[in-house]
Chains A and B, each alone.
Chain A
Protein backbone atom coordinates (compact mmCIF):
# COMPACT_ATOMS: atom_id res chain seq x y z
CA UNK A 1 0.00 0.00 0.00
CA UNK A 2 1.36 3.41 -0.95
CA UNK A 3 1.56 6.10 1.72
CA UNK A 4 -0.20 9.22 0.50
CA UNK A 5 -0.26 11.49 3.52
CA UNK A 6 -3.30 13.04 5.15
CA UNK A 7 -5.13 14.17 2.01
CA UNK A 8 -7.31 11.54 0.30
CA UNK A 9 -6.39 10.81 -3.30
CA UNK A 10 -8.94 12.21 -5.78
CA UNK A 11 -9.57 11.54 -9.45
CA UNK A 12 -8.40 14.54 -11.49
CA UNK A 13 -11.40 14.16 -13.81
CA UNK A 14 -14.45 13.65 -11.55
CA UNK A 15 -12.91 14.40 -8.09
CA UNK A 16 -14.18 11.08 -6.67
CA UNK A 17 -12.04 9.69 -3.86
CA UNK A 18 -9.97 6.80 -5.19
CA UNK A 19 -7.69 4.16 -3.78
CA UNK A 20 -4.00 5.06 -4.43
CA UNK A 21 -3.37 1.55 -5.80
CA UNK A 22 -6.19 1.75 -8.37
CA UNK A 23 -5.18 2.18 -11.97
CA UNK A 24 -8.59 3.52 -13.06
CA UNK A 25 -11.24 5.63 -11.38
CA UNK A 26 -14.20 3.52 -10.33
CA UNK A 27 -16.59 6.42 -10.87
CA UNK A 28 -15.62 7.72 -14.33
CA UNK A 29 -13.10 5.24 -15.72
CA UNK A 30 -10.27 7.77 -16.14
CA UNK A 31 -6.82 6.22 -15.93
CA UNK A 32 -5.06 7.09 -12.68
CA UNK A 33 -1.35 7.61 -12.21
CA UNK A 34 0.60 4.55 -11.05
CA UNK A 35 0.96 4.14 -7.27
CA UNK A 36 4.62 5.29 -7.39
CA UNK A 37 3.38 8.71 -8.44
CA UNK A 38 2.10 9.31 -4.93
CA UNK A 39 5.59 8.63 -3.63
CA UNK A 40 6.90 11.18 -6.11
CA UNK A 41 4.27 13.63 -4.88
CA UNK A 42 5.59 13.01 -1.40
CA UNK A 43 9.17 13.75 -2.52
CA UNK A 44 8.03 16.94 -4.23
CA UNK A 45 6.27 17.94 -1.03
CA UNK A 46 9.47 17.27 0.91
CA UNK A 47 11.41 19.43 -1.56
CA UNK A 48 8.92 22.29 -1.32
CA UNK A 49 9.08 21.78 2.45
CA UNK A 50 12.85 22.25 2.17
CA UNK A 51 12.23 25.52 0.28
CA UNK A 52 9.88 26.71 3.05
CA UNK A 53 12.49 25.76 5.65
CA UNK A 54 15.07 27.78 3.72
CA UNK A 55 12.72 30.78 3.74
CA UNK A 56 12.35 30.50 7.52
CA UNK A 57 16.10 29.97 7.98
CA UNK A 58 16.99 33.05 5.91
CA UNK A 59 14.45 35.11 7.86
CA UNK A 60 15.80 33.99 11.26
CA UNK A 61 19.41 34.32 10.12
CA UNK A 62 18.71 37.85 8.84
CA UNK A 63 17.24 38.92 12.19
CA UNK A 64 20.08 37.35 14.17
CA UNK A 65 22.72 38.89 11.89
CA UNK A 66 21.06 42.30 12.12
CA UNK A 67 21.14 42.44 15.92
CA UNK A 68 24.53 40.70 16.24
CA UNK A 69 26.21 43.04 13.69
CA UNK A 70 24.55 46.09 15.22
CA UNK A 71 25.79 45.36 18.74
CA UNK A 72 29.25 44.38 17.43
CA UNK A 73 29.53 47.58 15.37
CA UNK A 74 28.39 49.81 18.25
CA UNK A 75 31.83 49.33 19.84
CA UNK A 76 33.59 50.31 16.59
CA UNK A 77 31.38 53.37 16.18
CA UNK A 78 32.33 54.60 19.65
CA UNK A 79 36.00 54.33 18.63
CA UNK A 80 35.36 56.23 15.37
CA UNK A 81 33.48 59.03 17.15
CA UNK A 82 36.72 60.41 18.58
CA UNK A 83 38.47 60.53 15.17
CA UNK A 84 38.64 63.18 12.41
CA UNK A 85 36.03 62.21 9.74
CA UNK A 86 38.30 63.32 6.86
CA UNK A 87 41.32 61.33 8.08
CA UNK A 88 42.18 57.88 6.76
CA UNK A 89 41.40 54.98 9.06
CA UNK A 90 44.80 53.51 10.06
CA UNK A 91 43.99 49.88 9.18
CA UNK A 92 43.31 48.47 5.68
CA UNK A 93 39.98 46.59 5.53
CA UNK A 94 39.57 43.91 2.84
CA UNK A 95 42.28 45.60 0.80
CA UNK A 96 40.60 49.03 0.97
CA UNK A 97 41.70 52.15 2.84
CA UNK A 98 38.67 54.03 4.15
CA UNK A 99 38.32 57.54 5.47
CA UNK A 100 36.77 57.63 8.94
CA UNK A 101 33.53 59.12 7.52
CA UNK A 102 33.26 56.44 4.79
CA UNK A 103 34.02 53.67 7.29
CA UNK A 104 31.40 55.04 9.66
CA UNK A 105 28.83 55.03 6.84
CA UNK A 106 29.77 51.47 5.93
CA UNK A 107 29.52 50.31 9.53
CA UNK A 108 26.10 51.95 9.89
CA UNK A 109 24.86 50.22 6.74
CA UNK A 110 26.29 46.77 7.52
CA UNK A 111 23.48 45.44 9.78
CA UNK A 112 20.83 46.79 7.42
CA UNK A 113 22.64 45.23 4.47
CA UNK A 114 22.69 41.83 6.19
CA UNK A 115 19.00 42.17 7.04
CA UNK A 116 18.05 43.29 3.53
CA UNK A 117 19.95 40.49 1.78
CA UNK A 118 18.47 37.79 4.02
CA UNK A 119 14.96 39.22 3.74
CA UNK A 120 15.24 39.23 -0.07
CA UNK A 121 16.36 35.59 0.04
CA UNK A 122 13.58 34.68 2.50
CA UNK A 123 11.03 36.37 0.24
CA UNK A 124 12.39 34.57 -2.84
CA UNK A 125 12.23 31.20 -1.08
CA UNK A 126 8.76 31.96 0.30
CA UNK A 127 7.56 32.89 -3.18
CA UNK A 128 9.12 29.74 -4.63
CA UNK A 129 7.53 27.53 -1.96
CA UNK A 130 4.15 29.05 -2.84
CA UNK A 131 4.78 28.64 -6.58
CA UNK A 132 5.94 25.07 -5.93
CA UNK A 133 2.40 24.03 -5.05
CA UNK A 134 1.30 24.88 -8.58
CA UNK A 135 4.47 24.32 -10.57
CA UNK A 136 6.85 22.13 -8.53
CA UNK A 137 9.52 21.58 -11.18
CA UNK A 138 10.29 25.23 -12.00
CA UNK A 139 10.10 26.20 -8.32
CA UNK A 140 12.48 23.46 -7.13
CA UNK A 141 14.90 24.17 -10.00
CA UNK A 142 15.07 27.88 -9.21
CA UNK A 143 15.34 27.25 -5.45
CA UNK A 144 18.25 24.85 -5.98
CA UNK A 145 20.04 27.31 -8.27
CA UNK A 146 19.47 30.16 -5.81
CA UNK A 147 20.71 28.14 -2.86
CA UNK A 148 23.87 27.10 -4.75
CA UNK A 149 24.48 30.71 -5.72
CA UNK A 150 24.10 31.83 -2.10
CA UNK A 151 26.70 29.25 -1.03
CA UNK A 152 29.08 30.36 -3.81
CA UNK A 153 28.43 34.06 -3.13
CA UNK A 154 29.24 33.58 0.55
CA UNK A 155 32.35 31.59 -0.36
CA UNK A 156 33.56 34.47 -2.52
CA UNK A 157 33.00 37.00 0.26
CA UNK A 158 34.30 34.74 3.01
CA UNK A 159 36.03 31.54 1.75
CA UNK A 160 35.81 29.92 5.20
CA UNK A 161 32.00 29.80 4.99
CA UNK A 162 32.05 27.04 2.38
CA UNK A 163 32.83 24.47 5.07
CA UNK A 164 30.47 25.91 7.67
CA UNK A 165 27.35 23.82 8.22
CA UNK A 166 28.47 21.55 5.40
CA UNK A 167 26.25 18.63 6.50
CA UNK A 168 23.15 20.84 6.63
CA UNK A 169 24.02 22.23 3.19
CA UNK A 170 24.45 18.71 1.77
CA UNK A 171 21.13 17.56 3.27
CA UNK A 172 19.28 20.58 1.88
CA UNK A 173 20.82 20.10 -1.58
CA UNK A 174 19.99 16.36 -1.48
CA UNK A 175 16.35 17.17 -0.63
CA UNK A 176 16.20 19.71 -3.45
CA UNK A 177 17.78 17.36 -6.02
CA UNK A 178 15.42 14.55 -4.99
CA UNK A 179 12.59 17.04 -5.39
CA UNK A 180 13.80 17.93 -8.91
CA UNK A 181 13.89 14.24 -9.90
CA UNK A 182 10.47 13.56 -8.41
CA UNK A 183 8.94 16.65 -10.01
CA UNK A 184 10.49 15.71 -13.34
CA UNK A 185 9.12 12.16 -13.08
CA UNK A 186 5.67 13.52 -12.26
CA UNK A 187 5.94 15.90 -15.18
CA UNK A 188 6.92 13.02 -17.48
CA UNK A 189 3.92 10.99 -16.27
CA UNK A 190 1.57 13.85 -17.06
CA UNK A 191 3.16 14.71 -20.42
Chain B
Protein backbone atom coordinates (compact mmCIF):
# COMPACT_ATOMS: atom_id res chain seq x y z
CA UNK B 1 0.00 0.00 0.00
CA UNK B 2 2.76 2.47 -0.73
CA UNK B 3 4.65 3.80 -3.66
CA UNK B 4 8.19 5.06 -3.92
CA UNK B 5 9.09 8.14 -5.91
CA UNK B 6 12.23 8.34 -7.96
CA UNK B 7 13.97 10.19 -5.11
CA UNK B 8 13.31 7.31 -2.71
CA UNK B 9 10.55 9.25 -0.90
CA UNK B 10 7.57 7.15 0.13
CA UNK B 11 4.00 8.31 -0.43
CA UNK B 12 0.71 7.01 0.87
CA UNK B 13 -1.24 5.25 -1.82
CA UNK B 14 -4.49 6.44 -0.39
CA UNK B 15 -3.92 10.20 -0.05
CA UNK B 16 -0.51 10.70 -1.68
CA UNK B 17 0.89 12.39 1.41
CA UNK B 18 4.64 11.90 1.76
CA UNK B 19 5.52 9.39 4.48
CA UNK B 20 8.26 9.79 7.04
CA UNK B 21 10.98 7.17 7.40
CA UNK B 22 9.85 4.11 9.42
CA UNK B 23 6.21 5.25 9.45
CA UNK B 24 3.91 2.27 9.46
CA UNK B 25 0.78 4.36 9.04
CA UNK B 26 0.08 7.55 7.14
CA UNK B 27 -0.04 10.52 9.50
CA UNK B 28 -2.65 12.20 7.29
CA UNK B 29 -5.23 9.50 6.61
CA UNK B 30 -4.22 6.62 8.88
CA UNK B 31 -3.80 4.15 6.02
CA UNK B 32 -1.34 1.38 6.69
CA UNK B 33 1.90 1.43 4.75
CA UNK B 34 2.18 -2.38 4.98
CA UNK B 35 0.68 -4.35 2.16
CA UNK B 36 -0.42 -7.15 4.47
CA UNK B 37 -2.60 -5.04 6.75
CA UNK B 38 -5.50 -3.75 4.74
CA UNK B 39 -7.91 -3.09 7.55
CA UNK B 40 -9.56 0.27 8.01
CA UNK B 41 -8.37 1.02 11.53
CA UNK B 42 -10.28 3.93 12.88
CA UNK B 43 -13.98 4.47 12.46
CA UNK B 44 -14.64 8.10 13.28
CA UNK B 45 -16.91 9.06 16.16
CA UNK B 46 -19.88 11.45 16.26
CA UNK B 47 -19.38 15.16 15.65
CA UNK B 48 -17.53 16.84 18.54
CA UNK B 49 -19.19 20.15 17.60
CA UNK B 50 -22.67 18.84 18.30
CA UNK B 51 -21.42 17.28 21.56
CA UNK B 52 -19.88 20.60 22.56
CA UNK B 53 -23.05 22.55 21.78
CA UNK B 54 -25.33 20.23 23.75
CA UNK B 55 -22.89 20.04 26.68
CA UNK B 56 -22.45 23.81 26.69
CA UNK B 57 -26.23 24.26 26.81
CA UNK B 58 -26.47 21.85 29.75
CA UNK B 59 -23.68 23.71 31.55
CA UNK B 60 -25.38 27.05 30.90
CA UNK B 61 -28.55 25.65 32.49
CA UNK B 62 -26.57 24.58 35.57
CA UNK B 63 -24.81 27.96 35.59
CA UNK B 64 -28.10 29.87 35.40
CA UNK B 65 -29.67 27.91 38.25
CA UNK B 66 -26.57 28.24 40.41
CA UNK B 67 -26.21 31.94 39.53
CA UNK B 68 -29.84 32.71 40.35
CA UNK B 69 -29.64 30.92 43.70
CA UNK B 70 -26.39 32.78 44.43
CA UNK B 71 -28.01 36.11 43.51
CA UNK B 72 -30.86 35.39 45.93
CA UNK B 73 -28.27 34.72 48.66
CA UNK B 74 -26.53 38.01 47.80
CA UNK B 75 -29.82 39.92 47.90
CA UNK B 76 -30.89 38.23 51.11
CA UNK B 77 -27.48 38.80 52.73
CA UNK B 78 -27.54 42.49 51.80
CA UNK B 79 -31.10 43.03 53.03
CA UNK B 80 -30.40 40.90 56.12
CA UNK B 81 -27.78 43.44 57.19
CA UNK B 82 -30.43 46.11 57.33
CA UNK B 83 -33.38 44.15 58.70
CA UNK B 84 -33.83 41.59 61.45
CA UNK B 85 -37.26 40.49 60.21
CA UNK B 86 -37.79 36.90 58.98
CA UNK B 87 -39.77 38.20 55.99
CA UNK B 88 -36.77 38.70 53.65
CA UNK B 89 -35.80 35.04 54.23
CA UNK B 90 -39.37 33.91 53.63
CA UNK B 91 -39.69 35.94 50.42
CA UNK B 92 -36.27 34.64 49.27
CA UNK B 93 -37.51 31.08 49.89
CA UNK B 94 -40.52 31.88 47.71
CA UNK B 95 -38.25 33.07 44.87
CA UNK B 96 -36.15 29.92 45.25
CA UNK B 97 -39.26 27.74 45.02
CA UNK B 98 -40.35 29.44 41.78
CA UNK B 99 -36.88 29.26 40.21
CA UNK B 100 -36.21 25.64 41.15
CA UNK B 101 -39.66 24.50 40.05
CA UNK B 102 -39.19 26.27 36.72
CA UNK B 103 -35.84 24.54 36.12
CA UNK B 104 -37.25 21.20 37.32
CA UNK B 105 -40.16 21.67 34.91
CA UNK B 106 -37.70 22.19 32.07
CA UNK B 107 -35.97 18.96 32.99
CA UNK B 108 -39.18 17.12 33.77
CA UNK B 109 -38.13 14.03 31.81
CA UNK B 110 -35.04 13.51 34.01
CA UNK B 111 -36.45 14.80 37.31
CA UNK B 112 -39.89 13.12 37.35
CA UNK B 113 -38.54 9.53 37.75
CA UNK B 114 -36.67 10.77 40.84
CA UNK B 115 -39.97 11.84 42.38
CA UNK B 116 -41.47 8.38 42.21
CA UNK B 117 -41.63 5.97 45.13
CA UNK B 118 -38.08 4.71 45.82
CA UNK B 119 -37.77 1.10 44.73
CA UNK B 120 -35.25 -0.25 47.20
CA UNK B 121 -34.67 -3.65 48.76
CA UNK B 122 -34.12 -4.24 52.46
CA UNK B 123 -30.36 -4.26 52.03
CA UNK B 124 -30.42 -0.77 50.50
CA UNK B 125 -32.74 0.49 53.24
CA UNK B 126 -30.33 -0.85 55.85
CA UNK B 127 -27.36 0.68 54.01
CA UNK B 128 -29.06 4.10 53.79
CA UNK B 129 -30.05 3.94 57.46
CA UNK B 130 -26.42 3.25 58.45
CA UNK B 131 -25.28 6.07 56.17
CA UNK B 132 -27.77 8.45 57.83
CA UNK B 133 -26.47 7.49 61.25
CA UNK B 134 -22.84 8.02 60.23
CA UNK B 135 -23.87 11.33 58.65
CA UNK B 136 -25.50 12.61 61.87
CA UNK B 137 -22.50 11.54 63.97
CA UNK B 138 -20.03 13.16 61.55
CA UNK B 139 -21.94 16.43 61.27
CA UNK B 140 -22.56 16.68 65.02
CA UNK B 141 -18.83 16.08 65.60
CA UNK B 142 -17.81 18.67 63.02
CA UNK B 143 -20.08 21.41 64.36
CA UNK B 144 -19.13 20.63 67.97
CA UNK B 145 -15.49 20.89 66.94
CA UNK B 146 -15.79 24.27 65.23
CA UNK B 147 -17.91 25.61 68.09
CA UNK B 148 -15.25 24.50 70.56
CA UNK B 149 -12.63 26.20 68.38
CA UNK B 150 -14.45 29.48 69.05
CA UNK B 151 -16.11 29.93 65.65
CA UNK B 152 -19.20 32.14 66.17
CA UNK B 153 -22.30 30.11 65.26
CA UNK B 154 -25.20 31.56 63.31
CA UNK B 155 -28.61 31.05 64.89
CA UNK B 156 -31.00 30.76 61.98
CA UNK B 157 -34.07 30.78 64.20
CA UNK B 158 -33.16 34.04 66.00
CA UNK B 159 -35.05 36.41 63.67
CA UNK B 160 -38.13 34.12 63.63
CA UNK B 161 -38.17 33.94 67.44
CA UNK B 162 -37.83 37.72 67.74
CA UNK B 163 -40.87 38.14 65.48
CA UNK B 164 -42.87 35.61 67.50
CA UNK B 165 -43.24 32.94 64.77
CA UNK B 166 -44.28 29.57 66.14
CA UNK B 167 -42.24 26.37 65.96
CA UNK B 168 -44.43 24.87 63.22
CA UNK B 169 -43.74 27.77 60.86
CA UNK B 170 -40.04 27.68 61.73
CA UNK B 171 -40.01 23.98 60.95
CA UNK B 172 -41.55 24.65 57.52
CA UNK B 173 -39.31 27.58 56.55
CA UNK B 174 -36.03 26.48 58.16
CA UNK B 175 -36.18 22.69 57.92
CA UNK B 176 -38.61 21.31 55.36
CA UNK B 177 -38.74 23.88 52.55
CA UNK B 178 -34.95 24.30 52.16
CA UNK B 179 -34.51 20.51 52.21
CA UNK B 180 -37.10 19.95 49.48
CA UNK B 181 -35.91 22.84 47.31
CA UNK B 182 -32.19 22.09 47.64
CA UNK B 183 -32.68 18.39 46.91
CA UNK B 184 -34.76 19.22 43.86
CA UNK B 185 -32.18 21.78 42.68
CA UNK B 186 -28.91 19.97 43.39
CA UNK B 187 -29.70 16.26 43.32
CA UNK B 188 -32.54 16.73 40.83
CA UNK B 189 -31.78 19.37 38.21
CA UNK B 190 -28.02 19.91 38.61
CA UNK B 191 -26.91 16.30 39.07
CA UNK B 192 -29.15 15.15 36.20
CA UNK B 193 -27.84 17.87 33.88
CA UNK B 194 -24.23 17.14 34.77
CA UNK B 195 -24.73 13.42 34.14
CA UNK B 196 -25.25 14.34 30.47
CA UNK B 197 -21.80 15.95 30.36
CA UNK B 198 -19.50 14.07 32.71
CA UNK B 199 -19.47 10.63 34.33
CA UNK B 200 -21.95 9.84 37.12
CA UNK B 201 -19.14 9.97 39.67
CA UNK B 202 -17.94 13.39 38.55
CA UNK B 203 -21.53 14.70 38.46
CA UNK B 204 -21.96 13.47 42.03
CA UNK B 205 -18.78 15.25 43.16
CA UNK B 206 -19.56 18.50 41.31
CA UNK B 207 -23.11 18.82 42.67
CA UNK B 208 -21.77 18.22 46.21
CA UNK B 209 -19.15 20.94 45.71
CA UNK B 210 -21.72 23.40 44.31
CA UNK B 211 -24.11 22.62 47.17
CA UNK B 212 -21.31 23.21 49.64
CA UNK B 213 -20.10 26.54 48.26
CA UNK B 214 -23.61 27.92 47.82
CA UNK B 215 -23.86 28.00 51.63
CA UNK B 216 -21.36 30.89 51.41
CA UNK B 217 -19.45 30.31 54.65
CA UNK B 218 -16.02 28.74 54.02
CA UNK B 219 -16.10 27.21 57.50
CA UNK B 220 -19.05 25.00 56.46
CA UNK B 221 -17.66 24.09 53.01
CA UNK B 222 -16.17 20.77 54.25
CA UNK B 223 -19.28 19.74 56.22
CA UNK B 224 -21.69 20.67 53.45
CA UNK B 225 -19.53 18.94 50.85
CA UNK B 226 -19.94 15.73 52.86
CA UNK B 227 -23.67 16.45 53.16
CA UNK B 228 -23.88 16.87 49.38
CA UNK B 229 -22.04 13.58 48.89
CA UNK B 230 -24.40 11.77 51.29
CA UNK B 231 -27.58 13.13 49.73
CA UNK B 232 -26.21 12.52 46.24
CA UNK B 233 -25.28 8.96 47.13
CA UNK B 234 -28.79 8.39 48.48
CA UNK B 235 -30.24 9.65 45.22
CA UNK B 236 -27.97 7.35 43.21
CA UNK B 237 -28.65 4.34 45.39
CA UNK B 238 -32.43 4.75 45.67
CA UNK B 239 -33.00 6.50 42.30
CA UNK B 240 -35.24 8.86 44.25
CA UNK B 241 -34.95 12.28 45.88
CA UNK B 242 -37.09 11.35 48.89
CA UNK B 243 -34.45 9.61 51.08
CA UNK B 244 -32.16 12.64 50.65
CA UNK B 245 -35.02 15.03 51.38
CA UNK B 246 -35.88 13.04 54.51
CA UNK B 247 -32.31 13.05 55.86
CA UNK B 248 -31.75 16.69 54.85
CA UNK B 249 -35.01 17.83 56.47
CA UNK B 250 -34.32 15.77 59.60
CA UNK B 251 -30.86 17.27 59.95
CA UNK B 252 -32.26 20.80 59.53
CA UNK B 253 -34.94 19.99 62.14
CA UNK B 254 -32.32 18.63 64.56
CA UNK B 255 -30.28 21.82 64.16
CA UNK B 256 -33.41 23.92 64.76
CA UNK B 257 -34.44 22.02 67.88
CA UNK B 258 -30.87 22.22 69.14
CA UNK B 259 -31.08 26.01 68.85
CA UNK B 260 -34.56 26.25 70.35
CA UNK B 261 -34.43 23.74 73.20
CA UNK B 262 -31.09 22.03 73.75
CA UNK B 263 -28.45 24.79 73.55
Contacts and interface: CB of A to CB of B under 8 A. Distances in A.
A28 B27 contact: no
Interface residues of A, number: 48
Given A26-B20, A121-B218, A188 B30 contact: no
B219 A26 contact: no
Interface of B: 19-20, 22-30, 32, 41-42, 44-46, 48-49, 51-52, 55-56, 59, 66-67, 70, 73-74, 77-78, 81, 84, 150-152, 197-198, 202, 205-206, 209-210, 213-214, 216-219, 221-222
Nearest to B26: A24
Contacts of A109: 150-152
A124 B44 CA distance: 39
Contacts, number: 134
The A interface is mostly helix, strand or loop, or mixed, namely helix
B30 A19 contact: no
A30 interface: yes
A142 to B, nearest CB: 4
B45 A26 contact: no
Contacts of A18: 27
Interface of A: 18-19, 22-31, 94-95, 105-106, 108-109, 112-113, 116-117, 120-121, 124, 135, 137-138, 141-142, 145-146, 148-150, 152-153, 155-156, 159, 180-181, 184-185, 187-189, 191
B42 A120 contact: no
Contacts of B44: 31
